[in-house]
Amino acid sequence: MKLLLNFTLIAALGLGLGACTVVTDPSSGSSATTGGSGGAAFKSRPQQTAEIARLNQERLRSDMAAGQGEYLGALATLLDIEPSQRPTFFAFTRDKFTVLFPDDRTTAAEMLATLDRELRADPRFGQRLTLN
């Protein structure tokens, strides 16, 4: 019985992985994920960041309020925050939470625009080109 269960689990995982393709464009450093369709659409890093923020807005809001978390870490990666700067970035988003999310209607695009502006104004992060 256990062997049958393991086989079924492995088969299901194999089918699930076969339906998703990750394509990396080495010339731009960006990647795109397709849902199994024949063609892959390449997305720029700003497009990826906007999509991730939109799809995970509530999780990002929660992570930013706490100053830590998986989704905030993923955002830091997309924004090219150096690993050594991530604790500073996490604290920064926690400290700027009310600026980044002034109310419950704040969209992901508005939050990202504000985050970009605040990062550019902060001397710890300098004049980064985070979202452009």
Do 112 and 79 fall within a single domain?
yes
Number of domains in the chain: 2
For 102-127, the pLDDT digits (tens) are 999 999 999 999 999 999 999 988 65
pLDDT of 36 strictly over 90: no
Dig out the tokens for 107 from the structure.
Answer: 């969209």
Distance (Å, rounded) from C-alpha 127 to C-alpha 117? 9
Res 128: pLDDT: 58
Q: Looking at the structure, do residues 59 and 83 belong to the same domain, yes or no?
A: yes
One domain for residues 49 and 111: yes
55: in domain: yes
Sequence-distant (6+) residues with CB within 8 A of 81 are 89
pLDDT higher for 70 or 16? Answer: 70
What domain range is 7 assigned to?
A: 2-34
The per-residue pLDDT for range 46-93, each reduced to its tens digit, is: 899 999 999 999 999 999 999 999 999 999 999 999 999 999 999 999
Residue 129 in any domain: the answer is: no
Instruction: Note whether 72 and 107 are same-domain residues.
Output: yes
